[in-house]
Amino acid sequence: MYNFYITLHIYEYSGTGVETLQIRRAKVGDVPFIEKLIQHYANEYILLPRSRLSIIESLPCFKVVEGDGELLGCGALHVLWEDLAEIRSLVISPKAQGKGLGKMLVEAFIQDAEAMGIRRVMALTYQQHFFEKCQFHVVEKSTLPQKVWKDCLHCPKRLSCDEIAMLRVLESVPKTEPLLEPLALPEGFLPIAKDSAMSRT
């Protein structure tokens, strides 16, 4: 929804010291990069792998960070419910780490959520400190039944998930009357306690 350009001084990365960064919607031609970058971190057990087909099916949800024509990172915003969206597959190339690119992607997704009138944005992550810097806070997975029904029940890590659920409430988005019936957790769903998950950070 938003394309914007930012000029940053990144002396360690750019030979000239100035790099023009663009956050834009992902294109079909970006899919191999997205797949390879996600797989790199999946190999380190930082996030779940995604097939090329699943990336293509979710392509409208993805954004990429591009610097001087080179792709540096990606992420996706998936709408889970009328008032809840999730940031997924947020990853930055190892050589571009520590430049604030991840936070830039998060803020781009926050703008998208605001534009759609979605009041809450969540993430399942091991990077608690990063998301706290992006104004998210830790919540129990049991407070997010929409995520549980949509993904957690089918996830291969369901019985051993130690990712941390984090949430940011967008105060700029007014509360509205519900459009959908509220969801309850599936019977017998017992997520790992938050304290156990937090021990991984």
Task: Give residue limits of the domains in the chain.
Answer: 4-198
Residue 89 to residue 139: CA distance in whole angstroms: 20
Class of domain 4-198: alpha beta
Count of helix runs (H) and strand runs (E) in the chain: 6, 8
pLDDT at residue number 179: 82
Sign of the torsion formed by the C-alpha atoms of 115, 120, 125 and 130: positive
Instruction: Retrieve residue 91's tokens.
Output: 């990853």
* Structure confidence at residue 185 (pLDDT): 57
**DSSP secondary structure string for all residues of 83-97:** TEEEEEEEEE-GGGT
Q: Which residue has the higher pLDDT, 201 or 80?
A: 80
Predicted confidence at residue 61, as pLDDT, reads: 97
Mean pLDDT for all residues in the chain: 82
Query: Tokens for 171?
Result: 């105060």
Quote the CA–CA distance of 4 and 34 in Å, as a whole number. 20
How buried is residue 57: exposed, middle or buried, by Cβ count under 10 Å (0-12/13-18/19+)?
exposed
User: What local confidence, expressed as pLDDT, does residue 184 receive?
Assistant: 64
Distance, in Å, from the CA atom of 53 to the CA atom of 56, rounded to the nearest integer, reads: 5
Does position 113 have pLDDT exceeding 80, yes or no? yes
What is the model's pTM? 0.80
